[in-house]
């Protein structure tokens, strides 16, 4: 029973009557080995069930071939899609994803500590809680970092972002074309950079049309918080004619709250727009007007940027932006004149 012992390159070498170096060379592409030895080694390796030990390889190569991916559990984005696409891209570069999830900001230090011990080749951060300080820790250890959908003002960290400003401008312009003047913004959580970017993006776009002092209610990106936001706003304010939401889930919450609890028709009485282009936004019951993020391009860009930095450590950080795509559903209608 060879069951309890792993098969090493030495075992194969002994059985095949060659040196351990020879075995190693057979399993390393692009090294010169004679056809005879290669065959001998491959045959015995197969017979013994030998597989190169990735751990030992990591140690000698000074590179783990692993990418740390950090996700907040309370993620705004299309978590499953993004993660799975990222993983696919990373696999294309023959690297693996080591996954870290984050509940609270306070855990962050522990997670960074962990990541550093694992000698990962790079880090992709899909999380709002990520101060520049934290990134510096990775920089000190020469570990490149790419932020996904989050940018640092001084561009000292590479990032791949959807252009929130441009996306919100498209949405706002559309609403203004439909003669809306009374708005409500349902923003994301205070500590999320994406939320801030989308909020200021909306405000800037509205201001361009002379619309100012728009009320803001904060949610936490969840469906329930969208419902709650509309509900609490209507308690002590006039109903808006259009609601701009920081993401699709909250927008859907707003639509359901409006229809079921407030007896408002969407879009006839209330127009609602979201952001992200999650699959549920296209469902017949909602047909949400939203801006979809080009997730597959963005994940590819993120991984390409990261791999580039891994291979050229002295390259400067790079920020790449992607425009969103306006998806016109059926959640926006022309404001009724009596509301003007």
Nearest approach in angstroms of CB 31 to its own copies is 18
Binding mask 92-121 for its own copies (x = CB under 8 A): ----xxxxxx-x---------xx-xxxx--
Nearest approach in angstroms of CB 41 to DNA is 9
Say if residues 313 and 326 touch (Cβ distance below 8 Å).
Answer: no
Q: Whole-angstrom Cα distance, residue 97 to residue 85?
A: 11
Q: Which range of residues in 34-42, 85-93, 182-190, 207-215 is near its own copies by CB under 8 A? A: 85-93
Give the pairing of strands 122-126 and 145-148: parallel
Among 80, 190, 215, 296, which residue sits at the site for its own copies (rule: CB under 8 A)?
80
Residue 51 binding its own copies, by CB under 8 A: yes
Give the interface size with its own copies as a residue count (CB under 8 A). Answer: 54
Among 61, 73, 312, 330, which residue sits at the site for DNA (rule: CB under 7 A)?
61
Say if residues 70 and 111 touch (Cβ distance below 8 Å).
Answer: yes
Q: Whole-angstrom Cα distance, residue 206 to residue 198?
A: 12
Say if residues 149 and 86 touch (Cβ distance below 8 Å).
Answer: no
152 binds, among DNA, its own copies, none (CB under 5 to 8 A by kind): none
Residue with smaller CB distance to DNA, 56 or 237: 56
Q: Which range of residues in 48-56, 145-153, 229-237, 309-317 is near DNA by CB under 7 A? A: 48-56
Length reported for the chain: 340
Q: Whole-angstrom Cα distance, residue 308 to residue 303?
A: 8
Among 15, 151, 248, 257, which residue sits at the site for its own copies (rule: CB under 8 A)?
257
Q: Whole-angstrom Cα distance, residue 96 to residue 65?
A: 6
Give the interface size with DNA as a residue count (CB under 7 A). Answer: 31
Binding mask 11-40 for DNA (x = CB under 7 A): ------xxxxxx-xx-xx--xxxxxxx---
Residues at the interface with its own copies (CB under 8 A): 3-4, 6, 49, 51-56, 58-59, 64, 66, 69, 71, 73, 75, 79-80, 83-84, 87-88, 91, 96-101, 103, 113-114, 116-119, 140-142, 223, 252, 255-257, 259-260, 279-280, 283-286
Residues at the interface with DNA (CB under 7 A): 6, 8-10, 17-22, 24-25, 27-28, 31-37, 50-53, 56-57, 59-62
């Amino acid at each position: 029973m060879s069951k309890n012992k792993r098969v090493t390159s030495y075992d194969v070498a002994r059985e095949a009557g060659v040196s351990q170096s020879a075995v190693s060379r057979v399993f390393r592409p692009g090294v010169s080995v004679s056809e005879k030895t290669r065959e001998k080694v491959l045959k015995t390796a197969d017979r013994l069930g030998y597989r190169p030990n990735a751990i030992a390889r990591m140690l000698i190569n000074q590179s783990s071939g692993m990418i740390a991916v950090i996700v907040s559990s309370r993620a705004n984005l299309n978590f499953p899609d993004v993660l799975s696409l990222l993983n696919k891209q990373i696999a294309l570069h023959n690297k693996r994803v080591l996954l870290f999830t984050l509940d609270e900001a306070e855990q962050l230090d522990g997670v960074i500590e962990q990541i550093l011990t694992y000698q990962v080749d790079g880090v992709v951060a899909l999380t709002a809680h990520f101060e520049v300080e934290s990134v510096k820790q990775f920089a000190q250890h020469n570990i490149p970092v790419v932020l996904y959908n989050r940018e640092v003002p001084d561009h000292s960290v590479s990032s791949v972002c959807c252009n929130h400003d441009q996306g919100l401008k498209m949405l706002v312009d559309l609403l203004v074309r439909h003669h809306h003047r009374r708005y409500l913004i349902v923003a994301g959580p205070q500590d999320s950079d994406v939320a801030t970017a989308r909020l200021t993006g909306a405000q800037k776009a509205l201001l361009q049309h002379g619309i100012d002092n728009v009320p803001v209610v904060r949610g936490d990106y969840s469906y329930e918080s969208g419902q709650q936001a509309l509900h609490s706003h209507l308690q002590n304010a006039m109903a808006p004619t259009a609601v701009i939401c920081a993401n699709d889930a909250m927008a859907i919450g707003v639509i359901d709250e409006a229809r079921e609890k407030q007896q408002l028709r969407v879009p006839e009485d209330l127009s609602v727009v979201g952001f992200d282009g999650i699959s549920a936004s296209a469902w017949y019951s909602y047909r949400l007007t939203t801006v979809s993020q080009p997730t597959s391009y963005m994940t590819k860009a993120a991984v390409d940027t990261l791999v580039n930095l891994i291979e050229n450590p002295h390259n400067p950080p790079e920020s790449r932006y992607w425009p969103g795509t306006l998806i016109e559903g059926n959640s926006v209608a022309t404001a009724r004149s009596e509301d003007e």
